[in-house]
Amino acid sequence: MKINKLVISLTTTFALLVGSQSAFAATVYDKEPNDYHDAAQFLGYGDLAMGKISSENDHDWFYFQAGANDGGRTMTLHLQSPANTKYLFVINKNYGEPVPVTVLSQGSGNPEWVSFTLEANARYNFVVFKSSFSGYDPNNYYYLSPWLY
């Protein structure tokens, strides 16, 4: 009886560790150069991207690949900028197609927060950059996180 419980426990643990990547979100640090579409870094839903805007013209690209069963699901994207800065993001699909979003942020302050409906098998690109009305802080991280519902 004890051996059966042990086997079941080990099997369950293995299945969670190996078979369910979304159960274990990752922290993804931006790696330069990632200033264009083809250098974008992958983000899974629930992952946390941590990046630094290191110059006036720095644009950090990330992407999420929707699966066959993700069509019609809602994704939210949340960006928290460092104190005393205002960073923005743009979302596009595949190679630049616009994505209609619902803005969830209240007011004009930090953070930026939107939701949108996924299309199956589409690639969604997220580009983080500084607002033209704000400075940037090369020493502190912004946080970007996609969630799928």
Pairing of strands 102-103, 112-117: antiparallel
> Each residue of 5-26: pLDDT tens digit?
433 443 344 334 433 345 568 9
pLDDT score recorded for residue 111: 74
Please give the angle made by the CA atoms of 6, 11 and 13, to the nearest 5 degrees.
95
Query: What are 104's two structure tokens?
Result: 């969830």
pTM of the complete model? 0.81
% of the chain exceeding 70 in pLDDT: 81
Ordered by where they begin, the domains of the chain are 25-148 (2.60.120.380)
